[in-house]
Amino acid sequence: MSKTDYLIIEQRKIKLITMITQLYDLDLLESIEKLLIKKKDWWQSISEAEQQAIDIGLEDIKNGNLISHQEVMQEVEKQYKDM
């Protein structure tokens, strides 16, 4: 990064800080926080049981244990044809 780019970035950051310190809109501040705060990896936000279920599903895929969408739909039609 060139010195000019660095200075431009620093100026923009200062301008943003100044703008933020003058805000009194709670919704807007919360939106800015959501943008700036790193979100947790979704994997860390699910339970261990959910993680295990996903791992089992991925293993099934690797082993070729798959059912096509068409097969599932045919089975559903058989089970619920009288409804």
Q: Is 80's pLDDT higher than 80?
A: yes
Q: Where are the domains of the chain?
A: 3-36
Q: How far apart are CA 52 and CA 41, in angstroms?
A: 16
Q: Is 15's pLDDT higher than 90?
A: yes
The mean pLDDT of 59-69, rounded to a whole number, is 92
Q: Is 11's pLDDT higher than 70?
A: yes
Query: Contact at 8 Å (CB) between 28 and 34?
Result: no
Q: How far apart are CA 65 and CA 59, in angstroms?
A: 9
| Three state DSSP letters for the chain | CCHHHHHHHHHHHHHHHHHHHCCCCHHHHHHHHHHHCCCCCHHHHCCHHHHHHHHHHHHHHHCCCCCCHHHHHHHHHHHCCCC
